[in-house]
Amino acid sequence: MEDLVRELAEPGGKLVLLVMDGLGGLPHPETGRTELETARTPNLDALARKGSLGLHDPVAPGITPGSGPGHLGLFGYDPVENLVGRGVLSALGVGMELEATDVAARINFASKKDGKIVDRRAGRIPTEECVRLTDKLSRIRIPRVEILVRPEMQHRAVVVFRGQGLSPHVTDSDPQQTGVPPLKVEAREPGAASMAELANRFVEEVDRALADEWPANTVLLRGFDRQPDLPSFPERYGVNPAVIAVYPMYRGLARLVGMKVLDGGHGIAEEFDRLEAAWSDFDFFFVHVKPTDSAGEDGDFDRKVRTIEEVDAQIPRLLKLDPAAVLVTGDHSTPATFKAHTWHPVPFLIHSRWSRWENDAEGFGERACSRGQLGRVRAKELMPLLLAHAGRLAKFGA
């Protein structure tokens, strides 16, 4: 399918992929409505009624995706065949240049008490605090390896191990839950034993360096990997793409597939400022909104609703630019009632002059999308649909 789309892709109008991270939700126990259904979204509702609706599975039915696989699916890549570790995405997102043998891992600053993790995100410390703490960790020295630590955002940072004989085939130290001790990093194959030992030594040094800190007094490591060589997004779809994202990891993911990284500003309104400013320079824009996911992970239903409403308020600015086609969706579901990513399919809408109108849709929400004419598809099928709605795919065959 990827080769076919590459062959059929042709020039045309401008495209926008607007991703509200973790958009999908579950019904509130008191109202029976999800966050998206609860939010007052007159602009998105109008798009839904004049667009085409559906649901997508980021990876496959029943599979709960991480943010990396979720976005790779949206970009049209098979997320199973093209799995990329979170560490690489974070490193690229903060502008690091990785060497072929480097191993990168994502850092979560965390809170540990009596040997157990009590907060996996250290209260989402401010980015300024993250910068101060990573400066401390940058002073850690371990023989025969170079260690590079860089801040990302809030409680997130990245560590890159540079040296000979390093392997990315090790397990995470993040237990993905509180009330338990952090995990030891372990080798997933015989040649990775020294990498596991190095990672555990690094965590020990971190704990010493942060012994007097609170709430960020330890780190959790996840997503060890080397930089892969993925097919080019511009070549695959015949577009000149750019990413507008506040969070570095998503800039890193877009950079990995060949998108131009633009300054995302410091909030949703500023992201649309950047979109307006760069409109004439590119023909594909990936606009990423993170706070929907953060609110879902924090279990804050109302904050997720407010974030969706904040995005809705920007939709008239987007439409004024007159894109040929717009895809609005999420990379996965993060219901506030669940406080984590889930396997539930994600609502999406495609708006263009070639859409078949959903005149009877009550708006943009999970129930409306479950009845949408585009049905339930895999995320990797959305890029061809977006291109087709913009008239950018030629006819196949005679």
Q: Which tens digits make up the pLDDT trace of 70-111?
A: 999 999 999 999 989 989 989 998 999 999 999 999 999 999
* β 346-352/218-225 pair status: unpaired
Residues 260 and 218 in one domain: no
- Among residues 206, 225, 244, the one where a domain terminates is 225
Residue 262 DSSP SS3: strand
- Among residues 175, 205, 225, the one where a domain terminates is 225
348 inside domain: yes
Q: Which helix (H) or strand (E) holds 383?
A: helix 382-389
What mean pLDDT is reported for the chain? 96
Average pLDDT over residues 332-342: 97
Q: Which tens digits make up the pLDDT trace of 145-167?
A: 999 999 998 999 999 999 988 99
Q: Is the peptide bond before 215 cis (omega within 30 degrees of 0)?
A: yes
Residues 49 and 104 in one domain: no
29 inside domain: yes
Taking the C-alpha atoms of residue 159 and residue 136, their distance in angstroms, rounded to an integer, is 13
Residues 173 and 114 in one domain: yes
Domain holding 161, by residue range, is 88-225
Residues 244 and 167 in one domain: no
Average pLDDT over residues 115-124: 95
Residues 211 and 351 in one domain: no
Alpha helix stretches (DSSP H) within 66-167: 67-74, 86-93, 127-137
Tally of structural domains, the chain: 2
Residues 56 and 16 in one domain: yes
325 inside domain: yes
Q: Which tens digits make up the pLDDT trace of 10-26?
A: 999 999 999 999 999 99
Residues 207 and 261 in one domain: no
- Phi, psi at 268, each rounded to 5°: -65, -50
168 inside domain: yes
Residues 181 and 115 in one domain: yes
Residues 367 and 239 in one domain: yes
Q: Which tens digits make up the pLDDT trace of 230-269?
A: 999 999 999 999 999 999 889 999 999 999 999 999 999 9
Alpha helix stretches (DSSP H) within 279-378: 291-297, 301-312, 315-320, 366-370
* Angle (deg, nearest 10), helices 193-209 and 127-137: 110
Residues 77 and 97 in one domain: no
Residues 73 and 92 in one domain: no
Q: What is the CATH number of the domain that holds 42?
A: 3.40.720.10
Q: Which neighbouring-strand residues pair with 233?
A: none
- Cβ partners under 8 Å of residue 86, min gap 6: 66, 67, 68, 105, 106, 222, 223, 225, 249
Residues 138 and 209 in one domain: yes
What's the pLDDT at 2?
A: 82
349 inside domain: yes
Q: Is residue 347 within 8 Å of residue 55, measured between CB atoms?
A: yes
396 inside domain: no
171 inside domain: yes
398 inside domain: no
Q: Which helix (H) or strand (E) holds 257?
A: none
- Among residues 225, 247, 270, the one where a domain terminates is 225
